[in-house]
Amino acid sequence: MTDTKDSNTENQGLTQLGRPTAIPASPEDAVLETFANPNEGLDYLVRLACPEFTCLCPITGQPDFAHFVIDYVPHKACIESKSLKLFMASWRNTGAFHEATTLTIATRLTAAMAPKWLRISGFWNPRGGIPIDVFYQSGPPPEGVHVPDPGVAPSGGRGQ
C-alpha cells in the first residue's frame, strides 16, 4: 500500500521528493520539479536561500563559493525545494563563470515554473581579493508584494 505522502507526490508529478535521489552529474542533467501553487489567486513572495553553493572556476578548476538568495512570486507553480537542492548541488563539479552560473539558474527556474516575478542575488566569495556579486531580476515585483532585502552583507562583512 502506498502511503499518503507518496500518493500526494505522485499526484503532483514529483519524482524526487520522498525517495532517495542521487545528485545529478551536471546542471544539464538536473530536473527542476514544480507543484501547483496552493494560493494562485494571491501574490506572495517565496524566498529560498542556498548559502553553501559551490562550483568550479572554468579556467583554474579551483572551487568557487556563493550564497544565493532566490525570491519569486509564483504564478501557477512553485519550485519543489528538494529538486532545487539537487540542481544547486549538481554545480559542484561544473566549471562556470559567476555571471553565467547565476543567469543559468535564473533561466532554468523561469523555464520550470514561469513565476510572476523572480529575483536572484548571487553573493560570491572573493577570488583574488575581488568579489563578483551577480544579481538578476525579471522586472518590477507585483504591486503590494513585500520584498525584503536579501539579508547578505556586502563583501568584507561576509564570514568575518
29 belongs to the catalytic site: no
Catalytic residue among 55, 64, 71, 78: 64
Using the predicted structure, report yes or no on whether residue 24 has a pLDDT greater than 70: yes
* Each residue's pLDDT tens digit, 72-128: 999 999 999 999 999 999 999 999 999 999 999 999 999 999 999 999 999 999 888
Q: Active-site residue 57, yes or no?
A: yes
Whole-model pTM: value is 0.88
Domains by residue range for the chain, with CATH: 23-137 (3.30.1130.10)
- pLDDT, tens only, 68-87: 999 999 999 999 999 999 99
Q: What angle do helix axes 98-113 and 81-89 make, rounded to 10 degrees? A: 150
